[in-house]
Amino acid sequence: MNKHTPGPWEVTDLRHSIVVRTESPNKTKYGASRYAAIGGFDRSDPDQLSEALANARLIAAAPDLLEALSRLIEIEDGPGMAVIGWEGAMERAYAAIAKARGEQ
């Protein structure tokens, strides 16, 4: 299984694009880090811009969502479902959802 570039990923709304980026220890030979660009929208249309920003937030939150869900599965599959572990995993899940929704 391929491993994704660890986060945190952040959304940057630039003049001509929306970029989801993170610093990576594995830079290109030109020193570039990891990023994903959101395109195919009309910046002058508020609905399209809002949708593009929402898409970028969802992409940026994906590693957090994956980690939070993985922890919940580990707790569910683990012995006794310790309350402390469950609460910690739920806090991460709520934080990841808030990040995806742009509420952070």
pLDDT in tens, 14-51: 888 899 998 887 888 888 888 889 988 999 999 999 99
48-67 pLDDT, tens digit per residue, is: 999 999 999 999 998 888 88
Structural domain spans, the chain: 10-101
User: 53 or 4: which carries more pLDDT confidence?
Assistant: 53
Cβ distance 35 to 19 under 8 Å? yes
Report the distance separating Cα 51 and Cα 29, nearest Å: 34
Between the alpha carbon of residue 72 and those of residues 15, 44, 63, the distances in Å are 39, 41, 14
